[in-house]
């Protein structure tokens, strides 16, 4: 059997066409969206802090409380699983209440460069004489929650939440919400000595 050049040309064209059409796939590959790891949050359980400081409160059992070496009655609440720390700084009020409030507010509003919004929630417990403001800082700011509590005559306790890594609001949202609940519990359980 003799194959002519037109037949070879036709067979080659048929083979190439079938390879091209066979390699087409209707399911075009597309990049997968970014996902974040699932974050398991512990059940809320608290223990009492009663040290030598002029205040006491309850803090989570799944965190570590240790003294800051900078000043007396400055404490840190460390969350090892989330690599987050609530830094607590205590100051006596000696005719400088307004100065402490302005310093606290200034620390919060330094985050406006990266913050999308800052909201304030006021807290009052007349029976225990605990008054304060909780600041929620939205966006990828270094600190997402800050607060202060005071009795306005003798005691001033300021707190700020920081993570050990670059903040990403989307991935940290469940953790921030959980730690914010712990901070609210600190407000509610705080008593002055």
Q: Write down the pLDDT at residue 125.
A: 94
Mean pLDDT of the chain: 88
Helix (H), strand (E) at residue 191: strand 191-192
**Lowest-confidence range among 13-17, 97-101, 154-158, 179-183?**
13-17
Residue appearing with tokens 């590959």: 29
Q: For 30-69, give one letter per residue: b (16+ CB within 10 A) or e.
A: eeeeeeeeeeeeeeeebeebeeebebebbbbebbebeeee
Q: Write down the pLDDT at residue 18.
A: 77
Q: Which CATH class for the 47-192 domain?
A: alpha beta
Q: Where do the structural domains in the chain lie, given as residue ranges?
A: 47-192
Q: Write down the pLDDT at residue 25.
A: 63
pLDDT tens-place string over residues 42-98: 999 999 998 899 999 999 999 999 998 888 899 999 999 999 999 999 999 998 999
Length of the chain: 193
Q: How many C-beta atoms surround the C-beta of residue 101 within 10 A?
A: 17
pLDDT tens-place string over residues 107-126: 999 888 888 899 999 999 99
In this prediction, residue 13 has a pLDDT band, given cuts at 50, 70 and 90, of: confident
Give strand ranges (E) for 28-129: 46-49, 55-60, 64-67, 75-79, 84-92, 115-125
Residue appearing with tokens 């699983």: 81
Calculate ∠ Cα 181-52-75, nearest 5°.
Answer: 40
Q: Write down the pLDDT at residue 3.
A: 58
CB 167 within 8 A of CB 140: yes
Name the 3-class secondary structure at 8.
Answer: helix
How far apart, in whole angstroms, are the C-alpha atoms of residue 138 and residue 114?
9
């Amino acid at each position: 059997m003799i194959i002519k050049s037109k037949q070879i040309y036709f067979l080659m064209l048929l083979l190439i066409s079938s390879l091209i059409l066979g390699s087409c796939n209707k399911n075009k590959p597309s990049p997968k969206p970014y996902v974040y790891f699932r974050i398991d949050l512990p059940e809320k359980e608290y223990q009492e802090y009663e040290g030598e400081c002029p205040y006491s409160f309850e803090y989570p059992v799944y965190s570590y409380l240790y003294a800051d070496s900078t000043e007396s009655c400055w404490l840190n609440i460390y969350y090892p699983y989330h690599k987050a720390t609530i830094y607590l700084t205590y100051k006596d009020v000696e005719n400088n209440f307004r100065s402490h409030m302005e310093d606290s507010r200034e620390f919060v509003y330094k985050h406006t460069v990266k913050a999308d919004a800052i909201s304030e929630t006021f807290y009052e417990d007349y029976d225990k004489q605990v008054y304060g403001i909780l600041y929620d800082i939205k966006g990828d700011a270094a600190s997402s929650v800050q607060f202060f509590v005071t009795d306005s005559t003798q005691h001033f306790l300021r707190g700020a939440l920081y993570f050990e890594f670059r903040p990403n609001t989307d991935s940290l949202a469940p953790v921030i919400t959980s730690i914010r609940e712990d901070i609210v519990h600190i407000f509610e359980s705080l008593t002055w000595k």
